[in-house]
Amino acid sequence: MGSKILQISILCLAMAMFWGAGVYSWAGNGHSEYVMVPAELEDVVEGDEHEGHKSESGCASSCSVEDPPGVELKKAEFLQLVGTWSKQPVGEATIELETLLFHFKRSKQLLHRLEPEVLDEEHRNFLEQELHRDQVSVEFRLVDESGELRGHVRAGEVPLKAKQHLVFADTGSLGRFEASGKVKRVGLNHLWSRW
């Protein structure tokens, strides 16, 4: 079974920072690249209809403590996705596989109850392996406009879809600096993160 850790590295500029929604993709070499979400998808990704509302924890829902209300993956939809995906090549990023991975918690629950004949061993093993990749390694570097490192968060594992408050070290005159957010898996080779 492969590693259950995904990786994400984030570089922040201290003087001209931009915090926003994006998709982080990872490659086999462990390096990440930042891809901006197209404007027409921002509402879908950010759930802006919930901006400014307070959650039970006291944070604005826009700070991503809680998921916006959404549709849970239903058993019938799961069975349809698995049935279609079972006829597709293993390891290929298809909408069916990526939907199953996006709903990883529900997919795990339903996969354990799935009749053995619905998925062949190769598909089942691959899906189980990918659904167990539920940790992400997050690292931040805060760099000013002259390229000087002004603070950092060393690489550390955090669970997917769990709110994190990460405190930067060695920030000197900047004082306490914290990044709050979470990372979600949105496909076979893509992560979404909001900090």
**Cα gap 163→185, rounded to integer Å:** 14
pTM for this predicted structure: 0.65
Question: Tokens 């920030």 label which residue?
Answer: 171
If one counts the domains in the chain, the total is 1
pLDDT, mean of residues 164-183: 89
DSSP 8-state symbol, 71: P
Higher pLDDT, 96 or 164: 96
- Secondary structure (3-state) at 142: strand
**Cα gap 53→58, rounded to integer Å:** 9
- The mean of the pLDDT values for the chain is 74
Sort 89 into a burial class: Cβ within 10 Å, 0-12 / 13-18 / 19+.
exposed
The torsion angles phi and psi of 90, rounded to 5 degrees, stand at -70, 135
Domain of residue 179, residue span:
5-194
Percent of the chain with pLDDT over 90: 30
User: How does pLDDT run across 2-29, given as a tens digit for each residue?
Assistant: 555 555 555 554 433 333 333 333 333 3
Query: What would the two tokens of residue 44 be?
Result: 């879908």
User: Band of the pLDDT at 52, cuts 50, 70, 90?
Assistant: very low
Q: What is the CA radius of gyration of the chain?
A: 18
